[in-house]
Structure 1
Amino acid sequence: MKSVLVFSICIMFASLASVNAEECLDYGVEARWSYILEGQPGFVHCPLKVDPLSYNVTWSENGSTVHVTAERQSRIYRDGSMLRFVPARLGDSGYYSCVVWNSTGCFKRRVKVIVFKNHEGLCYNTTARFSSIESAKADVKVVCADLTDYVDGNTEQIQWYKECEPVKFGSSKFVAVGINLIIHNVTKADAGNYTCELPYNYDGKPFNLSRTKEVIVKVIKEQKLPVIIYPKNDSVEAELGSQVNLACNVAYSGKGGNIAFWWSINDMFAEDYDRNRVLTDEPFPTTSEDGTSLITRYLNISEVKKEDYETKFVCNLQTGIGATKYVLLKRPVPNFQGSLIAIFVALALVIVITILTYKLFKIDIVLWHRQNFLYRTSKEDGKIYDAYVMFPKSRNKESVYPTDTFVLKVLPEVLERQCGYKLFIFGRDELPGEAIADVIDETMNQSRRLIIVVTGIQSSDDFFEDAFEQQIALYDALVSNKVKAILIELEKIVDYTNMPESIKYIKQKQGVIKWRGEFTDRSLLPNTRFWKNVRYRMPPAQRFSSRRLDFQVGTFSTPHIIKVT
């Protein structure tokens, strides 16, 4: 009887085993696909959670009624509820059905298996990799995933690669812990594909297991509480009666719609301070030049009054800890800068005008100063004469201005009679019988100036009749520097080509005074331009007379032009 019961049970199980899988309750395709690298072992679990003591499990390739063998020597075989590929090949890709059944029911679910190859030149395939998004500045753990069915606890031989290049350990940046790679203080440069590789033995056959994970690093803006960036507890100058607009700027991140801030004055809302002249605007968002998000609220004061000075206008921000910043109104500090600039500009103009005036009217200024401040020639210098007059004897009988007339009549009349100078004119002032050389030497040493009168076109040989007088006078004027020379051109056209080098030198260094007048009362007044130039180069006079000229020369009478024959 007992043997009959056992036989019946075996017949029942055999009949259930032969049940067509199409008759089982089908749960469809498992959402998670199984990826296996070609040439590596791959283990696929049955997605149906069953008690192996109560159920039987079979595997079959999709569309086939042949069950996968349970023989361990086969490359693909069933091991309990697990389907093993040792190793996997590209042709193994497809759908595999896991059927679970017992005496009361039958269930089926399919699994998609994809066997892939790495991209050429790479140690991974971008379609078969894990991925994670990490935050910058954090520590990241990269897991060598899906090794639970393979690792026996010995993970010391795991090798790590970044973009297929070995990870450089030895610094605090990368640390290997078990099946994990720790990356400290992740930055954008740490983003990339990390591949782990582990040697694996299966039934004495050596294999390499590899997994790749893409690490994406994102810089996440730090969420900060709103903060008042203006005002900054400082002061603003405002004129009494002026209009002032004060801005409260709050910087924030994210949406600014829930930021509450307001103006207050003397511990009351700004709107309650003085409604007639103090108003606040509604807050509105803006953006600063550096891209910071701002929200701004203005306080408008239409007219500043005395009570507003030294009053705190406070911007209040309602945050987790609260925040207040204020601004003070102050009277403007007197600005002396404009006045100082005006003073310096005026002073500069005065200096420039003074310099230009002095350059233009230097002669008149010096002569006026001498006359009004009673400058007198010092007698302590031992000089007797104010000037020694040197002139050539006129050989041009047709000259408009005879040299003798100018030297013997005009010079004495203006410089001696009207201006108070004392001249020594050779041919007029020497005593009869005196030696010429002695007279010239003595009078030159007793004179303060040397007046040289030139006229017409003359040569070096006939410039002076007395060559000895010329040598002594010019030596004292140029070499010994005992006396200053005054060069006067008597005629309008004077050619210096054939003049002595000494005369040319005086003209180049000290210039020349040109007589351009006629022998009339007007031209013989000491305040004319010509005589001012002569007087300027002469030493201060002992006396000065402003009386008009009252004399006749030859056959003329003032104010007619003098004609000398």
Structure 2
Amino acid sequence: MWGHRFVLTLHILTLTCLSVGKAELCIDDGVEFEIEYASVGEPLYAVCPLYLLFEKSNFNVTWIRNGSQTEFTSDRQERVHQDQKYLKFIPAQLQDSGFYQCILKNSTFCIKKIRRVEVFNQDDGLCYNHSVRFLNEIPIMPSLRIECPDIDIYVNTRNIQVKWFKECQPLNMDSGRYLTLAKDLIIKSLSQQDSGNYTCEVSFMYNGVTYNISRAIEYSILDLPKEIEPVMTFPKNNILDVKLGDSITLTCEVFYNAIIDLYWTYNDTLMAQYTEDDRVIMGTTDKTITEDGIQNFLTLNFTKVLEEDYNKQFYCHIWSSTSTFYVTLRRPDPNFQGFLIAFFVSIFLVIVIAVIAVRIFKVDIVLWYRSSCLANTDCKDGKMYDAYIMYPKDSMGTSSYEMDIFVLKVLPEVLEKQCAYRLFIIGRDDLPGQAMADLIDETISQSRRIIIVLGNLFCEKQGDDFEQKIAMYDALIRNKIKVILIEMEKITDYTDMPESLKYIKQKQGVVQWKGEFTESALSPNTRFWKNIRYQMPPAQRHSDKELHYIHSED
């Protein structure tokens, strides 16, 4: 209602200053959402939806049917005629249903708005239409007052006689349960049997003709549990965490078998006195009717929570009960959830990256650690050699030229001279006349690693000397001496290779020589030599200054 008045007043303030030359321009205020209903044959006064504006200023009122330019007459003898703010249908007919414009105009201002009219027939065999009823739902109470609605503009409600019907049958007014008072019907000793459709009927005279005006009201009487105490479902001495500056709405909820009054307090004073501004607003009591009872609600709205609101007890009260409960607002504890999630995700990522880095750079990491001051390179296992070198020879005891260069020149140059390892190489370190089988057995037992250089000659038939070495090698595998396999030549077929070598290759793989016999290929910092050094034991040396490294790119 106040919003409607504000809009109309705004129209007056902004548009009354228009010049007379623009008076023909008329503001269209749309369609009124409320509909005027009437039964066929009954009078209908359609009220101009701009009536508040009409009462404030001197306007001429014109009614036309929407889509037509013909004004309705003011002749009271016509069935449909206008009478100031009313468009009167005496009586209403089905063809009257539709939209009608109410136009207010003076020399400087014009505005129009549409009113919808709906004329209906009563349902077959009934005195009302189901779709046009005033619906009500209430709990059982000692008595009920039913008002005959929307008849004030037709008759003087202080001195009228209203006929009342239930389900279109006249009420027995002599029963003592019914009493009429002006336009109201009072029912005593209310029960569920009083649920139903009530119709009120009043007489109305116009131009010497008497008409009837009827209204239909449906009442549903709910049989709620009796003799129950109000139950407050919220609050129940709750503590709520609210951030400073946030808004929050507290809702007092009380279940009862009737509508009751609730109120909020702080320190035994109403919340209206809690603040001098409108920062804290107490709402109005609302309700929800269920089959089991009535849920009563009263809100307390904090538009902005301040420091002064914390740790105070706000009580909700029931007028008819001494039971009270409170709710306390509290500053929430710091939320570390986001930090913990980020922390553990970061830890997980660091671990994953570390694992990947170790897998990719494990060779460089191990070699760096061995060269650092943290590593202890003193080996006290009593063995004389860091590695025993085994390479293929034919039945005549000879090997290929490239194999000899690699074993007798390249390996000693890098592993002995530059990396300070001690190697034992058959053909270089053995003495003439020594028993070969005993020498190999003893030397291998004095070595920390066995380096086997593979070539295609391994795939051919080997002499007894080499088979003896392989047998010794098998014994070493059982004794868990680590073996390093180097492919000097690309071997595509391992079919004729001894089973022991196949096993070692499958278990730990091989290191392939892909370089040439150049100066850069002899640098211990190439990928090939790093892999060899990684599988070798830590070199026993005092410092890197004693070594003569040849630096090169990987």
Answer yes or no: is the 8 Å Cα contact 1:313–1:326 preserved in 2: yes
Matched, 1:354 2:354: yes
Q: What residue number does 1:409 align with?
A: 409
AA of the residue aligned to 1:233: N
**Cα offset, 1:251, TM superposition:** 1.1
Aligned partners of 1:283, 1:521: CA distance in 2, in Å? 97
| 1:236 maps to 2:237 | no
Match of 2:491 among 489, 493, 504: 493
1:284 matched residue in structure 2: 286
What do residues 166-223 of structure 1 show as CA deviations (whole Å, max 9, x unaligned)? Answer: xxxxxxxxxxxxxxxxxxxxxxxxxxxxxxxxxxxxxxxxxxxxxxxxxxxxx97344
**Paired residues of 2:229 and 2:256 also in contact (CA < 8 A):** yes
Partner of 1:330: 330
Contact 1:393 1:404 survives alignment (8 Å) = no
| 1:425 corresponds to 2:432 | no
Q: Is the 8 A contact 1:517 1:523 kept in 2?
A: yes
Taking a change above 3 Å as real, the CA distance of residues 549 and 228 of structure 1, as seen in their structure-2 partners, is: closer
Cα shift at 1:343 = 2.4
Matched residue, 1:508: 506
Contact 1:391 1:464 in 2 (8 A): no
Preserved CA contact (<8 Å) 1:375 1:541: no
1:457–1:494 contact (8 Å) kept in structure 2: no
Cα-to-partner distance string for 1:36-69 (whole Å, 9 max, x where unaligned): xxxxxxxxxxxxxxxxxxxxxxxxxxxxxxxxxx
Contact 2:224–2:293, Cα closer than 8 Å, also in 1: no
Q: Do 1:420 and 1:541's aligned partners in 2 also have CA atoms closer than 8 Å?
A: yes
Question: SS of the residue aligned with 1:388?
Answer: strand
In 2, Cα distance between equivalents of 1:518 and 1:449: 25
Structure 2 CA distance for aligned equivalents of residues 522 and 292 of structure 1:
95
Task: For residue 303 of structure 1, report the CA deviation from its aligned partner.
Answer: 1.8
Cα distance in 2 between the residues matched to 1:522 and 1:508? 31
**1:449 aligned residue:** 449
> By how many angstroms is 1:494 displaced?
3.7
Q: In the alignment, residue 362 of structure 1 is paired with which amino acid?
A: K
**Against the structure 1 CA distance between its residues 316 and 379, is the aligned structure 2 distance closer, same or farther, given a 3 Å change threshold?**
closer
Sequence identity percentage: 48
CA distance in structure 1 between the partners assigned to 2:285 and 2:423 by the alignment:
97
Q: Does the residue aligned with 1:381 lie in a helix, a strand or coil?
A: coil
1:297 aligns with 2:298: yes
Q: Which amino acid aligns with 1:505?
A: Y
Task: Give the equivalent residue in structure 1 for 2:468.
Answer: 468
* Larger displacement relative to structure 2 (517-526 or 533-542): 517-526
**Structure 1 contact 401–490 (Cα < 8 Å) conserved:** no
Amino acid at match of 1:308: D
Is 1:265 the equivalent of 2:269?
Answer: no
**Cα pair distance change 1:436/1:235, threshold 3 Å:** same
Kindly state the Cα deviation for residue 434 of structure 1 after the two structures are TM-superposed: 2.3
Q: Could you tell me how far 1:296 is from its partner in structure 2?
A: 1.5
Higher Rg of the two aligned structures: 1
Whole-angstrom distance in 2 between the partners of 1:343 and 1:287? 51
Matched, 1:480 2:482: no
**Relative to structure 1, is the Cα distance of residues 450 and 334 closer, same or farther in structure 2, using a 3 angstrom cutoff?**
same
The alpha-carbon deviation at position 537 of structure 1 amounts to 0.8
Aligned counterpart, 1:364: 364
Deviation at 1:368, TM superposition (A): 0.9
For the 8 Å contact 1:393–1:465, the answer to whether it is kept is no
**How far apart are residue 374 of structure 1 and its match?**
5.6
Taking only aligned residues, the RMSD between alpha carbons, in angstroms, comes to 3.0
- CA–CA separation in structure 2 for the residues paired with 1:329 and 1:432: 99
CA contact (8 A) 1:401 1:491 kept: no
Task: Give the Å deviation of 1:226.
Answer: 2.6
Match of 1:306 in 2: 307
Contact 1:376 1:542 in 2 (8 A): no
Which residue in the other structure is 2:127 paired with?
none
CA deviation map 1:22-46 (0-9, x unaligned)? xxxxxxxxxxxxxxxxxxxxxxxxx
Q: What is the letter of the counterpart of residue 278 of structure 1?
A: V
Partner Cα distance (1:516, 1:291) in 2: 90
Aligned position for 2:345: 345
Q: Is the 8 A contact 2:385 2:448 kept in 1?
A: yes
How far is the alpha carbon of 1:449 from its aligned partner?
Answer: 0.4
Secondary structure class of the residue paired with 2:450: strand
Q: In 2, Cα distance between the equivalents of 1:511 and 1:445?
A: 23
Deviation per CA, 1:314-345, whole angstroms, max 9, x where unpaired?
111112x3221110111112223333333222
Q: 1:149-228 alignment to 2 at 5 Å? A: 221-228=225-232
Confirm or deny that 1:542 pairs with 2:530. Answer: no
TM-score by length of 2: 0.54
CA separation in 2, counterparts of 1:463 and 1:309? Answer: 96
**Structure 1 unaligned residues grouped into runs of 5+:** 1-218, 551-557, 560-565
Partner SS state of residue 448, structure 1: strand
How far residue 401 of structure 1 moved from its aligned partner, in angstroms, is 8.0
| Equivalent in the alignment of 1:79 | none
Deviations 1:395-431 (A, max 9, x none): 99xx998211111111111111111111001001112
TM-score, normalised by the number of residues in structure 1? 0.53
| Of 524, 527, 530, the match for 1:526 | 524
**SS of 2:447 mapped into structure 1:** coil
**Contact (CA 8 Å) 1:228, 1:249: kept in 2 or not?**
yes
For 1:311, give the aligned amino acid: K
Is the Cα contact below 8 Å between 1:287 and 1:293 reproduced in 2?
yes
Q: Letter of the aligned partner of 1:480 in structure 2? A: N
- Conserved 8 A contact 1:457-1:496: no
Distance 1:292 1:452 in 2: 93
Question: What amino acid sits opposite 2:332 in the alignment?
Answer: P
Shift of 1:379: 4.3
What's the offset of the Cα at 1:546? 6.4
- Residue 327 of structure 1 aligns to a residue in which SS? strand
Q: 1:333 to 1:222 in 2, by over 3 A?
A: same
Aligned residues: 326
Equivalent residue, structure 1, for 2:318: 317
CA distance in 1, matches of 2:372, 2:536: 17
Amino acid at match of 2:305: V
- For 2:255, the aligned partner's letter is A
Q: Write out per-residue CA displacement over residues 229-279 of structure 1, whole angstroms, 9 at most, x where no aligned residue.
A: 1011121111222212111111122x42xx111111222111121133111
Is the CA contact (8 Å cut-off) linking 2:262 and 2:316 kept in structure 1? yes
| Paired AA for residue 436 in structure 2 | I
Letter of the 1:450 partner, please give it. Answer: I
Q: Distance in 2 between matches of 1:458 and 1:526?
A: 27
Offset from partner CA, 1:280-335 (integer Å, 9 cap, x none) = 122222368x976322111111222222111111111112x322111011111222
**In the aligned structure 2, how far is the partner of 1:233 from the partner of 1:281?**
20
Gap change, CA 1:287 and 1:448, over 3 Å in 2:
farther
Whole-Å separation in 1 of the counterparts to 2:375 and 2:416: 17
1:382-401 to 2 correspondence within 5 Å?
Answer: 382-393=382-393
Deviation at 1:468, TM superposition (A): 2.5
1:264/1:270 contact within 8 Å kept: yes
Within 5 Å, which residues of 2 pair with 1:43-82?
none
Closer, same or farther: CA 246–379 of 1 in aligned 2, 3 Å: closer
Give me the whole-angstrom Cα distance separating, in 2, the residues matched to 1:467 and 1:281: 102
SS at match of 1:300: strand
Q: Residues of 1 paired with 2:316 and 2:229: CA distance?
A: 16
